[in-house]
């Protein structure tokens, strides 16, 4: 046990206490972040002449060796309270007392905040890259399905006609907001906490600006008391992931429904459809159902992080160590779901006839008829009542709206003539909605262009974040003076 002195009751700790309090089983996942952080800290200490260069070279050599050993799967970390102490114990076993120079002007409190921020930043970058790919997928699909006509739903009742282009750009609009959310989460994470020590800074002549540049952080944190207890970056990441998964769940639900016999709008490819162990006829949308399910874990993780920080006093509290599992789970949860959705969408095929039939028997042109009357000067509410009466008559007679006899329609309102009835087609319905945000194909083209711009933004935000491997490669040869 390294983090124990006579003052803290001697070097031993009950093994049961160590087991209960140790975060090593989870935070060994942060080993690479920890090593990169230590390399940057060591470089800064050496440049500031706080650590002699010869010792720094020895320590750096051991940090590099630890990285390599981990990469080759032959690293055995000593039993310690956490990954930070385990690395130090490892260095000490090889280098002896000199290893202790590394922890000069550093506490595990700022060290763990650094490791977590490096992870959160990398997760944001990976998710942004994946969001970029999803936006490209949706843009391409919106173009491919631009002539497909299908009903849009309110209250899960057929409402109005839209195109496949509009459907996919609608999904893309949600994903554009995810790009914004992850860029925000990235900016929150992109702050260097290292250098504030345990809580109040250090009397040693460190230079945090050097460390910031070495680790390519955008900013420095400004107050140690705040920095060591701040997990806002985890909350922001948690919220971005949660909201993104809620979005994916809504898309997934559409495809669960669309692939049912009741809708019959899409057919699931054999590559993604699951079967039943008992019912031989089944072609199930399990992939989409499980995408929908994943938001539950995200909500759980976000809730965990919020409750964990609720009511904590200022400064560092060990409670914060329990941020580990939810925080580490968020990245894979989001990335796996984003990839699964793209896989699913690649294997669904629309049944254009069934989609069109849904429009014909759904009276979805009723609003268009009412608007056509309004265009001819009839107050909208009057027009709405007249068309409502016409729909009712058609339903009683088992006719679709376009088959309403003109005499019947004109008996309800004289302006409801043959020409208006004929024009009330699904094609006419989508092309006439030319307002910004409407279904007209030109408008959809504009929306698709916005998706592509968003994809580009997401990609450039992602590539601006240096990978851990890049930081490591720079640090392994960084000048020490
Ligand atoms: N294992 C701790 C964590 O993950 C590191 C910080 C512990 N600090 C301390 N003073 N015990 O949060």
Tell me how far apart the alpha carbons of residues 62 and 453 are, in angstroms, rounded to a whole number.
Answer: 45
Look at strands 219-220 and 149-154 and give their pairing. Answer: unpaired
pTM comes to 0.96
Residue for token digits 């040869």?
Answer: 477
Ligand 1 centroid to residue 329 C-alpha, Å? 19
Closest atom of ligand 1 relative to the 109 alpha carbon: 6
User: What are the tens digits of pLDDT across the range 455-472?
Assistant: 999 999 999 999 999 999
| Average pLDDT over every residue of 241-256 | 98
pLDDT tens track for 344-392: 999 999 999 999 999 988 899 999 999 999 999 999 999 999 999 999 9
List 203, 222, 247, 276, catalytic entry:
276
Least Cα distance to 80 among 41, 60, 108, 101 occurs for 108
CA-CA distance, 439 to 433, in Å (whole number)? 5
Mean pLDDT to the nearest integer, 99-128 = 98
Q: Is 169 a catalytic residue?
A: no
Q: What pLDDT, on the 0 to 100 scale, is given for residue 225? A: 98
Q: How far apart are CA 88 and CA 100, in angstroms?
A: 8
What backbone phi and psi angles, to 5 degrees, belong to 478? -65, 140
Query: What are residue 158's DSSP bridge partners?
Result: 153
CA-to-CA distance for 234 and 321, rounded, in angstroms?
12
| 82 CA: nearest ligand 1 atom | 1
**Residue 252 · residue 288 · CB < 8 Å:** yes
Averaged pLDDT for residues 385-401: 94
Confidence of residue 12 (pLDDT cuts 50, 70, 90): confident
Using the mean position of ligand 1's atoms as its centre, give its distance from the Cα of residue 263 in Å. 54
What separation in Å is there between the alpha carbon of 102 and the centre of ligand 1?
Answer: 17
Q: What is the mean pLDDT of the chain?
A: 96
What per-residue confidence (pLDDT) applies to 418?
Answer: 92
Section 301-310 average pLDDT: 98
- Whole-number Å distance, alpha carbon 284 to ligand 1 midpoint, is 47
- Partnered with residue 4 across adjacent β-strands are none
Q: How far apart are CA 470 and CA 474, in angstroms?
A: 6
Closest among 162, 223, 215, 158 to 192, alpha carbons compared: 215
Average pLDDT over residues 279-291: 94
- Rounded to an integer, the average pLDDT of 201-217 is 98
Query: Has 155 been annotated as catalytic?
Result: yes
Q: What is the pLDDT of residue 360?
A: 85
The number of angstroms, rounded, from the C-alpha of 168 to the middle of its chain's C-alpha atoms is 18
pLDDT bracket for residue 13 (50, 70, 90): confident
Question: Which pLDDT does position 274 carry in this prediction?
Answer: 93
Contacts of 212 by beta carbon, 8 Å cutoff, 6+ apart: 192, 219, 220
Q: Are 372 and 424 in contact (CB under 8 A)?
A: yes
- pLDDT value at position 158? 95
- Most ligand 1 atoms within 8 A of CB, residue of 112, 199, 200 to mutate: 112
| Substitution site in 19, 108, 305, 319 for ligand 1 pocket (most atoms within 8 Å of beta carbon) | 108
Instruction: Examine the pLDDT at 1 and tell me if it is beyond 80.
Output: no
> What is the pLDDT at residue 327?
98
- Alpha helix (H) residue ranges in 195-285: 208-215, 224-227, 232-258
Question: Could you read off the pLDDT of 404-437 as tens digits, one per residue?
Answer: 999 999 999 999 999 999 888 999 999 999 999 9
Q: Strand 191-192 vs strand 157-163: parallel, antiparallel, or unpaired? A: unpaired
- Residue 403: its pLDDT value, please? 86
């Amino acid at each position: 046990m390294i983090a124990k002195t006579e003052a803290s009751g001697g070097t031993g700790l009950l093994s049961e206490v160590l087991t209960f309090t140790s975060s090593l089983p989870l935070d060994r996942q942060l080993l690479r972040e920890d090593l990169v952080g230590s390399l940057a800290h060591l470089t800064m200490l050496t440049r500031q002449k706080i650590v002699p260069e010869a010792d720094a070279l020895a320590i750096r050599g051991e940090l590099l060796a630890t990285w390599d050993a981990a990469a080759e799967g032959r690293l055995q970390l000593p039993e310690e309270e956490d990954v930070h102490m385990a690395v130090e114990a490892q260095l000490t076993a090889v280098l002896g007392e000199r290893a202790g120079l590394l922890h000069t002007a550093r506490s595990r409190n700022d060290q763990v905040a650094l490791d977590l921020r490096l992870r959160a930043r990398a997760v944001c970058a990976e998710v942004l890259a994946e969001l970029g790919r999803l936006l490209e997928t949706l843009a391409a699909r919106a173009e491919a399905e631009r002539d497909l006509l299908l009903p849009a739903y309110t209250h899960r009742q057929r409402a109005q006609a839209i195109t496949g282009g509009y459907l996919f750009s609608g999904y893309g609009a949600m994903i554009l907001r995810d790009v914004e959310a992850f860029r925000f989460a990235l900016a929150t994470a992109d702050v260097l906490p290292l250098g504030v020590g345990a809580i109040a800074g250090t009397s040693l002549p460190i230079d945090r600006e050097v460390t910031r540049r070495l680790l390519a952080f955008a900013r420095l944190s400004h107050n140690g008391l705040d920095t060591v207890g701040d997990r806002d970056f985890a909350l922001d990441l948690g919220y971005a992931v949660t909201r993104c998964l809620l979005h994916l769940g809504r898309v997934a639900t559409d495809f669960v429904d669309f692939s049912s016999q009741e809708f019959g709008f899409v057919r699931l490819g054999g590559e993604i459809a699951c079967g039943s162990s008992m019912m031989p006829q089944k072609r199930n949308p399990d992939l989409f159902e499980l995408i929908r399910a994943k938001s539950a874990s995200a909500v759980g993780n976000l809730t965990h992080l919020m409750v964990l920080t609720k009511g904590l006093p200022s400064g560092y509290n060990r409670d914060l160590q329990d941020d580990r599992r939810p925080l580490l789970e968020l990245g894979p949860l989001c990335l796996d779901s984003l990839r699964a959705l793209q896989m699913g969408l690649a294997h669904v095929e629309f049944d254009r006839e069934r989609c069109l039939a849904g429009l014909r028997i759904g009276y979805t042109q009723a609003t268009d008829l009412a608007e056509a009357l309004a265009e001819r000067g009839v107050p909208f509410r009057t027009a709405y009542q007249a068309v409502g009466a016409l729909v009712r008559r058609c339903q009683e007679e088992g006719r679709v709206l376009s088959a309403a006899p003109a005499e019947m329609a004109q008996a309800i309102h004289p302006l409801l003539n043959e020409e208006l009835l004929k024009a009330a087609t699904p094609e006419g319905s989508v092309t006439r909605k030319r307002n910004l945000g409407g279904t007209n194909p030109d408008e959809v083209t504009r929306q698709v262009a916005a998706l592509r711009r968003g994809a580009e933004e997401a990609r450039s935000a992602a590539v601006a974040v240096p990978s851990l491997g890049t930081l490591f490669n720079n640090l392994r040869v960084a000048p020490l003076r």
